[in-house]
Amino acid sequence: MSDDSMQKDVLSELGDDKLQEIAGLLGTDTAGAESFVGTTVSALSGSEVQEAVADTPVPQPEPQLEGVAALGGGLGGAMMGGMLAKMSRPIANAVAKKTGLPAASVTRGIEILLPVIMAVVTKRAAAGKAAGTTGAAKSGGLGGLLGSLLGGGKK
- pLDDT (tens digit per residue) in 85-136: 677 788 888 899 999 999 999 999 998 998 888 888 888 888 877 766 555 4
CB 154 within 8 A of CB 147: no
As a whole number of angstroms, the distance between CA 50 and CA 122 comes to: 19
Residue 155, domain member (yes or no) = no
Its pTM surpasses 0.85? no
Query: What pLDDT is attached to residue 5?
Result: 87
Tell me the pLDDT tens digit for each residue of 54-89: 665 554 444 545 554 444 444 455 565 666 667 778
CB 65 within 8 A of CB 81: yes
Residue 117, domain member (yes or no) = yes
Residue 141, domain member (yes or no) = yes
The total of structural domains in the chain comes to 1
Which domain range does residue 101 map to? 3-149
Residue 98, domain member (yes or no) = yes
Residue 154, domain member (yes or no) = no
Residue 100, domain member (yes or no) = yes
Residue 34 neighbours by CB under 8 Å, 6+ apart: 11, 19
As a whole number of angstroms, the distance between CA 70 and CA 132 comes to: 27
Residue 60, domain member (yes or no) = yes
Tell me the pLDDT tens digit for each residue of 13-37: 999 999 999 999 999 999 999 999 9
